[in-house]
Structure 1
Amino acid sequence: MSDGPVYGHQRPRLLAVPGTFLSSAGQEAVELARRAGLVLDPWQQFVLDEGMREKADGNWAAPEVCVNVPRQNGKGGIIEARELWGLFIGGEELILHSAHEFKTAKNAFKRIERLIRGCPDLHKRVKQYRQTVGEEWVELHTGQMLRFIARSGGSGRGFTADCIVLDEDMILGDDAMAALAPTLAAVDNPQTWYLGSAGIGHQSVQLGRLRRRALAALETGVPDPTLAYFEWSIDEHRDECGQGCTEHDDVAAADSVLKANPALGYRLTMEKCANERLTLGDALFARERLGVGVYPSDSADTWQVIGEDVWRALADATSAPSDPLAFAIDTTPERSHSAIGVAGLSGAATHVEVVDHHPGTGWVLDRACELQERHNPRCWVVDEGGPAGSLIPDLRKRGLNVISPKTRQIAQACAQFYDAAAEQSLVHIDNAPLAAALAGAQQRPLGDAWAWARRGVSVDISPLVAVTLAKWGLGADVEEDTDPLNNIW
């Protein structure tokens, strides 16, 4: 047997990325970190390469990146490389680094400061290192800033950031997300990085959402269009596992440690991990070293309006809508995300699909024009009284036939969507964002009828609203809400 180091798995057990994109800024980040004295492990380089891939238009392939790895494996190196790139190469005007506790944010600032000061080429570009308590940042002469904050219900409000790094994401709830997520809304190409270890229960609300999206993408084979997810963990034995089960992992097995800890052979050893198990016991060892987490749902009662079984039964990966088509646009109240939905006929059923779902609103107009030219739909539906209503004038100036439903018609649209699902006259390809929206949706009274509502501020139902309005648009009078004055400008 070799006396050399034993290396952990350099690829995660759970890997879900939006798709295959050739271009990546990850190698630039790796090389810049090396110049600053930070040599990254293969697994860290892999995360940066996959998480920083770009589409043909230069936008991030994954506006959201989540790294779930046990403690002391080196997620901090990934954070530092990504922040150095954003500050010195990517031209990001503001990078917000958010940690659960003030001391953790301060330690992160000291680490990045040490790296920059140790590289003269980078240090000479720094205007100031601000080290006042609660006011740590690095500012360049050209104005770019990397700012460190501790999380609270109000931290992050008032900023407009190009990139948010959320360290310790296993302690990340709705209040913090409500404060931080809207800071990206006014940026054309933002990115959010979530990094932490296994879920610890009710405090891991946001991590649980991200993980469910990743699992949905892996189960259905349909990539989540905005999320890259990396998880080093084991698939622990269940209570019902019989003796000799080979489908699941044993907490006491050496291979389990290798599978969940990519830093083995670099900064961790099997001996140290074995000692941890003696100290912690199997349950805590499984969580802290093997990535076995507890992930809460948004509510004890998800899928409140249309049952999950009903919705999944309507899925057909081979379905495609045929002309005529109707598109619709919706935006979250915080303007953190927008969605474009489409509806068309598929045999005797109506096909609904989320075409795009991305952060902010800056991308919507150009994408709508592209879809208009390609498909020439019968109409575009946008709720004039909703958050996306502000887009209507520009959409019409671009020549799109936009109609806006009245309040009673929004109620009709929701009822029609519900009835179609109940009567199995609806078909979809099981978009992950649409499923997540339905899981988090509830009803709000609208006179004697109802419309879609979300259970909490962190639930994004814009994909659901978009496909609901698109389906209504298939049968709407396209002249009904068109004002001739809208064509004069």
Structure 2
Amino acid sequence: MAAKLLGRTEPRIFTKPLRELTPETSRGFEVIKFALVILGVHLYPWQKFLLIHALEIMPDGQYRFKRVIVLVARQQGKTTIASVLAAWWLFVDSKRHPDMVPPVKFKVVGVAQNLDIAREPWAAVKMWCDPEPNTDEEMELALPALQNATAKVSDTNGKEGIYARSRAHYEIRAAANARGKPAARVLMDEMREQKTWTAWNAVSQTLKSFWSGQMWGISNAGDSSAVVLRTQRTAGLESIAEWEEYVEAGIISAEEFANGHDVTLGLFEWSAPDGCALDDVEAILQANPSIGFGAMTVQSALSDIRGMTEAGYRTEVLCQWVVADVDSFIDVKEYRLRVLPGDEIVIPKGSRTVWGVDVSHDRKTTWLSAAVFTEDGDPFVTVRLSRAGMMWLPDYLAELAEASGQREVAVNAKGCPAMEFIEPLKKLGLIVHEFDGPKYAIATGRYRDAVRDEKLVVSAQPDIDLAVQGGVVVPYADNMAWSRPKSLPIDISGLIAETIALYALELLKPEPVEATPPPPPQAEMVTRDDVAPTDVNLATAAF
């Protein structure tokens, strides 16, 4: 009998702890016990992992994380963990440090784009603790231990509140009405629905006046319009990258890292790897950690493929980021048909290569691509490297050209950061193909033509796949040209680098760089009377 398929307990992406997590270094163990003993809730392994890691505490008793961002696919139990956490905050955590935060000032706030979403975890807590249930069913579900700890419940629309006898309380708000009095704990549900910064800016500021304040944002993945969630996720990824660069590489200790870096943002993401196949079972298990522990199965996830759009499936089931609903200039399905495995792409040794260079709209990232013909005569384009900043590119490219013998570079020459490379690259002896507006627009169209007409080979590149999905074009005379600012927050600079490199490979011929002749030697000034007869011809030649 085949082994039962189980969702992955450990998230694919997460912020590492500063120390070993034990009941002395994490409140998560306490929450897990509270859920089981008081609430009768058996948490799934992934939920336990999250609580233990997200509720790490520092030596002074404060929570390490001021912000906790959780990303996981639909129907995994996000509401359950939010309800358990909110109940524990309200009835247990609120009384832990009365000297620092007295219960009367301890407020838990639930926020969502609309009140119905914020109400879901709140309603679960109300069911457990309401001292005056309205129905027999509610009475059966109520927990005497929490009822005795509850002073009153207000269920009036817009004034929902649960008030503990300790005087701590839990209220909910819609994002449009998020601004209010300071809160010790904030629970922001479905963060991907936050299209503006209004709610985040208002609520996040309320935590600042609290010792050991904490905000949780729980959501599925979003698209380019989910500005708040995307920004928080990006910040979390950058922190994780710094940790890997310094701590995991063995350069400094975790304690030294914490002393010199901000370690107060925790990111925990259960998601499928970018670019995976829709039916990749391992990817499904990684994004759906509740599989095998509840009703959801791999088969139920696979059954959604035919009933949903690809973008919807990747977001809801695989917890992958997709672009907003834009009319892609290049047909995404046609583009993916051009992707070949690496072992099927054969490049003849010494083949002419054109490097393509472009820089992101914010000047933070430089992209270097390559275009070359395969053994079958088809053009192949790929991103060779993307790296932060710009200053590294000229010397790197000069060394690459020297090693490979390939010295042609395609660069945009009008109105973009990459134009700054033109003169430095020329001075290094490289052959620079400059792209003005008309040529750039034609190159954009030719890239699409090459995909449509099956005249292009590419490799699997998640960043470029995303750029193809979300790349926006603008009119230029009778053509269309890639637009970096219109495509934001998607960075399409790697796709632009490929686009101009492809055009140069197919239509532009390399022009040899004319070496600047060395200056003539400075002859010593002499007079005719000073020249011996045998030196006359030499002296005349020197002049």
Q: 1:311 to 1:143 in 2, by over 3 A?
A: farther
Q: Relative contact order: is structure 1 or structure 2 higher (C-alpha 8 Å, sep ≥ 6)?
A: 1
Alignment of 1:298-447 (within 5 A): 301-302=361-362, 308-309=388-389
Which residue of 171, 175, 195 maps to 2:193?
A: 171
CA distance in 2, matches of 1:21, 1:57: 16
Displacement of 1:17 = 3.6
Which residue of 226, 231, 235 maps to 1:209?
A: 231
Contact 2:76/2:288 (8 A) holds in 1: yes
Displacement of 1:264 = 0.4
Range with bigger deviation, 173-182 or 63-72:
173-182
Displacement of 1:262 = 0.2
Amino acid at match of 1:236: D
Amino acid at match of 2:265: L
Contact 2:72/2:219 (8 A) holds in 1: yes
Q: Matched residue of 1:278: which SS?
A: coil
CA distance in 2, matches of 1:45, 1:278: 33
Mapped pair 1:141 → 2:141: no
Contact 1:21/1:61 (8 A) holds in 2: no
Displacement of 1:289 = 0.3
TM-score of the superposed pair, with normalisation by structure 1 = 0.57
Q: 1:191 to 1:311 in 2, by over 3 A?
A: farther
Displacement of 1:236 = 2.7
Contact 2:111/2:173 (8 A) holds in 1: yes
CA deviation profile, 1:148-195 (whole Å, cap 9, x unmatched) = 11111xx23231110111100112231111221111121121001010
Which residue of 301, 307, 328 maps to 1:279?
A: 307
Tell me the matched-pair count.
295
Say what the alpha-carbon RMSD is for the aligned residues: 2.5
Q: Matched residue of 1:72: which SS?
A: coil
Mapped pair 1:288 → 2:316: yes
Q: Percent identity?
A: 25
Contact 1:207/1:295 (8 A) holds in 2: no
CA distance in 2, matches of 1:53, 1:79: 17
Report the equivalent of 1:51. 54
Range with bigger deviation, 67-76 or 112-121:
112-121
Amino acid at match of 2:146: L
Which residue of 114, 117, 125 maps to 2:127?
A: 114
Displacement of 1:106 = 2.4
Q: Matched residue of 2:152: which SS?
A: strand
Displacement of 1:235 = 1.5
Q: Matched residue of 2:313: which SS?
A: helix
Contact 1:28/1:85 (8 A) holds in 2: no
CA distance in 1, matches of 2:18, 2:222: 26
Which residue of 247, 253, 264 maps to 1:226?
A: 264
Contact 1:137/1:146 (8 A) holds in 2: yes
CA deviation profile, 1:265-297 (whole Å, cap 9, x unmatched) = 12311222122112004332111100111379x
Q: Matched residue of 2:128: which SS?
A: helix
CA distance in 2, matches of 1:33, 1:150: 27
Report the equivalent of 2:10. 11
Mapped pair 1:132 → 2:156: yes
Displacement of 1:82 = 1.5
CA distance in 2, matches of 1:61, 1:89: 19
Alignment of 1:15-94 (within 5 A): 15-17=14-16, 19-20=18-19, 22=21, 23-34=25-36, 35-91=38-94, 93-94=106-107
Displacement of 1:94 = 0.3
Q: Max radius of gyration: which structure? A: 2
Q: 1:260 to 1:311 in 2, by over 3 A?
A: farther
CA deviation profile, 1:3-57 (whole Å, cap 9, x unmatched) = x642111111111246225411111111111221221101001101110110001
Mapped pair 1:150 → 2:207: no
Q: Matched residue of 1:294: which SS?
A: coil
CA distance in 2, matches of 1:311, 1:54: 41
CA distance in 2, matches of 1:124, 1:63: 31
Q: Matched residue of 1:28: which SS?
A: helix
CA deviation profile, 1:286-331 (whole Å, cap 9, x unmatched) = 11100111379xxx84358xx9515999xxxxxxxxxxxxxxxxxx
CA distance in 1, matches of 2:187, 2:362: 29
CA deviation profile, 1:108-155 (whole Å, cap 9, x unmatched) = 322121233522111111011110001111101110001111111xx2
Amino acid at match of 1:270: V
Contact 1:30/1:45 (8 A) holds in 2: yes
CA distance in 2, matches of 1:170, 1:87: 26
Report the equivalent of 1:162. 184
More helix by share: 2
Amino acid at match of 2:13: L
Q: Matched residue of 2:305: which SS?
A: helix
Q: 1:217 to 1:185 in 2, by over 3 A?
A: closer
CA deviation profile, 1:47-102 (whole Å, cap 9, x unmatched) = 01110110001111111111100111111122112111211111161010111112
Q: Matched residue of 1:111: which SS?
A: helix
Structure 2: unaligned runs, 5 residues or longer:
95-102, 131-141, 247-256, 325-359, 365-386, 394-543
Contact 2:68/2:266 (8 A) holds in 1: yes
Structure 1: unaligned runs, 5 residues or longer:
238-248, 314-489
Q: Matched residue of 2:191: which SS?
A: coil
